[in-house]
Amino acid sequence: MTKALQHEHIARQWFAAFNTHALEQLLALYDEEAQHYSPKLKQRQPETEGLIKGKAALRAWWQDAFERLPGLHYEVTSLTANEDRVFMEYIRQVPGEEDMRIAEVLEVSDGGIIASRVYHG
């Protein structure tokens, strides 16, 4: 299997874990020192300037999101993978909120996500 196909597989695992709110499965895809940037993070926790680092911070962020938004779901519209990253496009769906188009890049090294960046469209 090529690296691009491995990275696409990681992205599919990511969506499966996220959409079932399987926090530990989601975190298992990440490197211990992974970084995550998100405009939503910047909005909710301005002191972070949108950037968190490490699995403990990722766990706290997603656990809060899953608890606040039990109906949170991502509908995949496109995955494009290469040797070191996956570009994902999806629709963020939350009951009672307008759907939001999202793009996210997962940087992958040695089989784990080392960085992710979210962009809202």
Residue 121 has what pLDDT? 74
Spatial distance between the Cα atoms of 108 and 74, rounded to a whole number of angstroms: 20
- Give me the pLDDT at residue 69, please: 97
Which pLDDT score is estimated for 1?
Answer: 82
Decide yes or no: CATH 3.10.450.50 for domain 3-120. Answer: yes
Contact 112/29 with Cβ under 8 angstroms? yes
If residue 106 lies in a helix (H) or strand (E), which one and from where to where? strand 100-109
- What is the pLDDT averaged over residues 87-114? 97
Give this prediction's pTM.
0.95
Helix %, strand %, coil % of the chain (to 5): 40, 40, 20
Percent of the chain with pLDDT over 90: 98
Q: What is the pLDDT of residues 59-85, one digit of tens each?
A: 999 999 999 999 999 999 999 999 999
What's the rounded mean pLDDT across residues 11-26?
98
Domain locations along the chain: 3-120
